[in-house]
Structure 1
Amino acid sequence: MGGHHARHGGDESASMRMLAVAVIVPIALATLAALIWLWPTGEVAQPDQPAQGEQTNGHVVSVESAPCPEGQPGTDRCGTVQVRLSEGSGRQVVEAPLPTGPGAPPIAEGEDVVLLRLDNPQGGEYAVVDHQRERPLWVMAIAFTLALVAFGRWRGVSALAGLAVTFGLLVYFVVPAIIGGESPLLVAIVGSAAIMLTVLYLTHGFSLSTTVAVLGTLISLTLTGVLSALSVSALHLTGMTDDISTSVGLSLGINMQGLLLAGIVIGSLGVLDDVTVTQAATVSELAEANPAYGFVELYRAAGRVGRSHIASVVNTIVLAYAGSSLPLLILIVAGGDSLGGVLTDQVIAQEIARSAVATLGLVAAVPVTTILAALTQQRVQRGTTAGAEHGGRG
């Protein structure tokens, strides 16, 4: 039994090295070259907008309520707030009006807040603009880290390292390169390839099943990019559907249609690697559990698992997009528009395109990855059988 596993591991290592040299290494070198070519240089361009003031942090000392002026709509709480500044000599206590209007943060004594200092000829005035969330965010981050490491152990640590790589590439490469004027779709593809190659091997180890998952993800991601471009063009989507996207497009001169494509590609990657890793691992486990399985048996058995996985993941994608667009859906339904008018609206059509393209990429990922995994496992089994026969004759 022990000899069988030793030979299997050796055959798998040989097959994995062959695949890495023949396919993965050229892909990795091409991705690295593209990263170097597209890597942003210099400072990130800033929008041509005058500074509205300087932000600072503070701690609420007291809150004093007062009657609101008559005839002022959208105001139900007025007064002033005393805030001790977190910076500066003596930690000065300043006074600011209570924030009012829709979306204004409710302020209470003892809370940490963010203030905006507005300069005027008479001196400086302060306005409370938001809560200071640094402390609760740190608590959530620590709880997340402890839970992941406690459950996943070294896999959890490697997952955290992969998360750091993903965040670093998005912040230091993808976003600055797009702001610097590079093609958003090209940057998204190169960034996604770099994330995929680094994170999958870092999280799941340098093995045959991981290599298969990388290939399946790359093929499916390419198909997703092509389908995204066709869908956005056919639906005449501009990518400008709200104030934020319009402001980004106008102030920074970014191609918002390309940014929409980039968002679809990057958003699809997180679900694609989940499906491909699952399929590759499923085929590997099936081959280990039943070495008599050939290509057809491995593909059929793993395909059944993949179909069940896709059915649940598709629902997850739709619910995720619906949850992020829930205020918009409520506004449209409350307006009494017809179903046809709602679905053809650009905002809703954009979310439908995201869901449909991501789903098509996922559907393609299952057979592609399963075929690759079944072929490689069959080759490993042949090598193991040949090795056993050779050992028996010897």
Structure 2
Amino acid sequence: MGSGHSHASTGHSEPTADAIAARRKANRILAAVLVPLTLLTLAGMAMLWPSGSKEGISLASPYSAAPGVTFDTGKIQSVVEESCMQGSAASGPASDTTGQPAPQGSECMFASTQPDQGGSPVKVVINPEVAKSHGVKPGDQIRYLNLSNAQGAAASQGSPAYIFVDFVRTLPIVVLALLYALVVIVVARWRGLRALLGLVGAYFVLAGFMLPGLVEGKSPILLALVGSTVIMIGVLYFAHGFSARTSTALLGTMFGLGITAMLAAWATDAANLAGVGSHDATTLINTSANISISGVILCGLIISGLGVLNDVTITQSSAVWELYELAPGTGARKLFTSAMRIGRDHIASTVYTIAFAYAGAALPILIIVMLYNRPLGDTLTSAELSEEVIRTLVGSIGLVLAIPVTTLIAVLVVKATGIRPVAQAAARSGETLERRAPEINPDDVEDTGALAAAAEARRSRRATLEGAEAGTREDPDPAAVPETRRGRRADRG
């Protein structure tokens, strides 16, 4: 497709002048619709742009420290389990994660850690949750709270001087990110690189426009629609190029976003999604009076389906163009039916994709709910799972409806461009050659070799005409064409 999607057939030849003119006409048709929508979206973004003020927000960061307290990093050298009292002899009796002294006789896990800033190893107490679930081992990089220089009487209250906070995951995440970028660029080449850069741009829209807008209490549905549309305009054109296929996919994506937004707005209110089952939502409720948890959930329902929606619309648009350019004589109804056969396969796979993606993200919640031994209906409609269930259903409905709409738009555009069927042109060309070919009377030709050559030429022209009318059939072997009467006469001669 020029500079568009990559679902192109490798057997395509260079586009003809008619095809190029038709694509330009398609771009003009789509631009007449998309340019006003884009300008309207940008105007909405300017009106909704957040001020950046955090007035009235009260949120105590868990990573803020009191005077004299620091967050340090280090490498574990050894791990021991010993009495909580003995293990913290250097810094007073050890305490649990609530700050209360641990019961006498209980066992605690301690990690002898070499600080990254230098100095002697320190004994870091490991949280019981980490010790039971994952544990720590020599060689792990950890981040810990250093209370040794804290002001006050922390040590006299029985608190340990060094408390485990988290693992340092910088290296594995950087390695995975580089590997991902390398694989995408090697396989998809420049288009893959553009997609990665588009992802960076989408992050800035999300972090600089949508999240601050939610904090300031702006309309969540408008923030989601405007922000998602801006993201899709950027990533689609940047990754797939400016073409009629991409523009068609963008129109289908906008339709899918609109359907998803309406369903999400209704479902959020009808199902009373208030985020009461989430610790993070409870934290946000107490942070600012401007933040609406229902609005945050609504915005999340719309954003969550962007990736899959983009995938199905660009694929359907490209499928219509490929089918039409392979058989330009195909009628609109048959073209739509053929493309929808591809779309139905895509629907089946993407429904599973969304469902399993959300199930994997909510796996700890699923296990907890399973252990409650509640009925299935109560489980799926509980506060813990209802948001994930509604997100799956809303996103699936939006993308399923976007497929036939995108297909219909693509069919209307390609038929409106008026690409001249190549097979018909070839057939007309063959008919002209047939009409121009002179009739040869064998009685007028003394040279039987010339007569045989003329018969062979006529058979070749007929084979060309038949191949053009068939559309995709290759030119037949002249030896397989039945002999004409004149050919037999030439052979006898």
How high is the TM-score relative to the length of structure 2?
0.72
The partner residue of 1:378 within 412, 415, 426 is 415
Provide the residue aligned with 1:19 in structure 2. 30
The answer as to whether partners of 2:336 and 2:408 remain within 8 angstroms in 1 is: yes
The answer as to whether partners of 1:63 and 1:109 remain within 8 angstroms in 2 is: yes
Partner SS, residue 59 of structure 2: coil
The answer as to whether partners of 2:228 and 2:303 remain within 8 angstroms in 1 is: yes
Q: How big is each residue's C-alpha offset from its partner over 1:7-33, in whole Å with a ceiling of 9 and x where there is no partner? A: 21122123203321x121112212222
The answer as to whether partners of 1:96 and 1:128 remain within 8 angstroms in 2 is: no
Provide the residue aligned with 1:60 in structure 2. 75
Provide the residue aligned with 2:122 in structure 1. 95
Partner SS, residue 162 of structure 2: strand
Provide the residue aligned with 2:18 in structure 1. 7
1:69-88 counterparts in 2 under 5 A? Answer: 69=84, 77-86=108-117
TM-fit CA distance, 1:136: 1.6
Partner SS, residue 155 of structure 1: helix
The answer as to whether partners of 1:56 and 1:85 remain within 8 angstroms in 2 is: no
Partner SS, residue 328 of structure 2: coil
The partner residue of 2:46 within 7, 12, 36 is 36
The partner residue of 2:152 within 84, 97, 121 is 121
Provide the residue aligned with 1:267 in structure 2. 304
Provide the residue aligned with 1:134 in structure 2. 170
The answer as to whether partners of 1:210 and 1:277 remain within 8 angstroms in 2 is: yes
TM-fit CA distance, 1:113: 1.7
Q: How big is each residue's C-alpha offset from its partner over 1:174-218, in whole Å with a ceiling of 9 and x where there is no partner? A: 112212222222211111010000000111110001101000110
Once residues 18 and 139 of structure 1 are traced to their aligned partners in structure 2, the CA distance between those partners, rounded to angstroms, is 45
The answer as to whether partners of 2:73 and 2:142 remain within 8 angstroms in 1 is: yes
After alignment, is 176-185 or 155-164 more displaced?
176-185
TM-fit CA distance, 1:42: 3.3
The answer as to whether partners of 2:26 and 2:414 remain within 8 angstroms in 1 is: no
Once residues 138 and 271 of structure 1 are traced to their aligned partners in structure 2, the CA distance between those partners, rounded to angstroms, is 25
Residue 220 (str. 1) matches residue 220 (str. 2): no
**CA RMSD of superposed structures (Å):** 2.8
TM-fit CA distance, 1:306: 0.6
Name the amino acid aligned to 2:376: L
Name the amino acid aligned to 1:197: I
Once residues 122 and 85 of structure 1 are traced to their aligned partners in structure 2, the CA distance between those partners, rounded to angstroms, is 26
Residue 164 (str. 1) matches residue 200 (str. 2): yes
Partner SS, residue 113 of structure 1: strand
Once residues 346 and 64 of structure 1 are traced to their aligned partners in structure 2, the CA distance between those partners, rounded to angstroms, is 40
Instruction: Return closer, same or farther for 1:316/1:55 CA change in 2, 3 Å cut-off.
Output: farther
Once residues 69 and 76 of structure 1 are traced to their aligned partners in structure 2, the CA distance between those partners, rounded to angstroms, is 6
Provide the residue aligned with 1:49 in structure 2. 60
The answer as to whether partners of 1:57 and 1:112 remain within 8 angstroms in 2 is: no
Name the amino acid aligned to 1:31: T
1:353-364 counterparts in 2 under 5 A? Answer: 353-364=390-401
Instruction: Return closer, same or farther for 1:29/1:108 CA change in 2, 3 Å cut-off.
Output: same
The partner residue of 1:195 within 231, 235, 242 is 231
TM-fit CA distance, 1:347: 2.3
TM-fit CA distance, 1:383: 4.9
Name the amino acid aligned to 2:115: R
Residue 144 (str. 1) matches residue 155 (str. 2): no
Once residues 171 and 76 of structure 1 are traced to their aligned partners in structure 2, the CA distance between those partners, rounded to angstroms, is 44
The answer as to whether partners of 1:98 and 1:107 remain within 8 angstroms in 2 is: no
Partner SS, residue 103 of structure 1: helix
Partner SS, residue 346 of structure 1: coil
After alignment, is 332-341 or 267-276 more displaced?
332-341
Q: How big is each residue's C-alpha offset from its partner over 1:87-141, in whole Å with a ceiling of 9 and x where there is no partner? A: xxxx344624321311356333333221223433258943221111112211111
Q: How big is each residue's C-alpha offset from its partner over 1:146-192, in whole Å with a ceiling of 9 and x where there is no partner? A: 11111111111111111111111112221122122222222111110
How high is the TM-score relative to the length of structure 1?
0.89
Q: Structure 2: where are the runs of 5+ without partners?
A: 1-11, 86-101, 156-160, 430-493
Residue 111 (str. 1) matches residue 126 (str. 2): no
The answer as to whether partners of 1:58 and 1:113 remain within 8 angstroms in 2 is: yes
Once residues 191 and 44 of structure 1 are traced to their aligned partners in structure 2, the CA distance between those partners, rounded to angstroms, is 21
Name the amino acid aligned to 1:203: A
Once residues 364 and 17 of structure 1 are traced to their aligned partners in structure 2, the CA distance between those partners, rounded to angstroms, is 26
The answer as to whether partners of 1:303 and 1:370 remain within 8 angstroms in 2 is: yes
Q: Structure 1: where are the runs of 5+ without partners?
A: none
Partner SS, residue 297 of structure 2: helix
Provide the residue aligned with 1:249 in structure 2. 285
Name the amino acid aligned to 1:101: P
Instruction: Return closer, same or farther for 1:93/1:295 CA change in 2, 3 Å cut-off.
Output: farther
The answer as to whether partners of 2:327 and 2:421 remain within 8 angstroms in 1 is: no
Once residues 272 and 349 of structure 1 are traced to their aligned partners in structure 2, the CA distance between those partners, rounded to angstroms, is 22
After alignment, is 76-85 or 237-246 more displaced?
76-85
Q: How big is each residue's C-alpha offset from its partner over 1:294-326, in whole Å with a ceiling of 9 and x where there is no partner? A: 210111001111111101110111111111111
Name the amino acid aligned to 2:82: P
